[in-house]
Amino acid sequence: MIVSKYSASGNDFVIFHTFKKADRTELAKKLCDRQNGVGADGLIVLVPHDTLDFEWEFYNSDGSYAAMCGNGSRAAAHYAFVNNLADKKMEFLTGAGVIGCEVDGDIVETELTKPKLVKDYFIEDGYEWILIDTGVPHLVALVEDISKFDKATAKKMREKYNANVNFAKFEDGELKVRTFERGVEDETLACGTGMCASFLSAKNKNFCNDFTKLRPTSQEELEVKIKDDTLFFKGKVKQTFKAEVLI
């Protein structure tokens, strides 16, 4: 089979399109395996939709299903455009609902589904958390030192709340974010929906206004803004290679 490998701010994905929906749990595990497969944080499969440009299936590297992925949506949109599956402006169906994307060269902006407050600020394990769903659920803690990543607490909170876990700090005019992701079960180089949830927490605390620059662990620069309660998330994506994979 022919697949493309994409990187979006350090998140990497295997992407292909087909005409049929299917359970691709085992395929995701094989393709995302970094020793015996292509290696990726997730698998994205584009399938036809009756009224939208396409529908996607998204799998984490462990084969689990995910409703939404911010960086993955940008990679999928770029793939769809360069493969003539959609125009520069497109809409497609995710497990979280319909989202819009616009491709401008290697820059892609995603219009996310409206965020939902799941649990307001609360104290646990020495941190103040907020739980926000930006397509998938995210716990966010604003911290004093972003260089320290409390993986033990992140793992514990992820299991207790079945949510991704983010540590964030606003400094030097940008929001720095580190994320422990479900399905990968470790810190990833970037998480789009996590950065957006962190932005909302920082905005609630008056660290930033309706727009800010973002800096994930990969150190790539991204941007997020909110308008009429809708989040817009923008940054570069790149296709790293296209290959025939023997399955």
Q: Which residues are the active-site residues?
A: 69, 191
> Per the structure block, which two tokens stand in for 165?
């876990």
> Per the structure block, which two tokens stand in for 119?
């649990």
Other Cβ atoms less than 10 A from the Cβ of 6: the count is 25
Cβ(21)–Cβ(47) below 8 Å = yes
Cβ(237)–Cβ(200) below 8 Å = no
- Report residue 194: phi and psi, to 5°: -70, -40
One-letter amino acid for residue 8 of the chain: A
3-state helix, strand, coil in the chain (%, to 5): 20, 45, 35
d(CA 222, CA 210): 14
d(CA 196, CA 183): 19
> Per the structure block, which two tokens stand in for 84?
């003539």
Radius of gyration over every alpha carbon of the chain, rounded to an integer in angstroms: 17
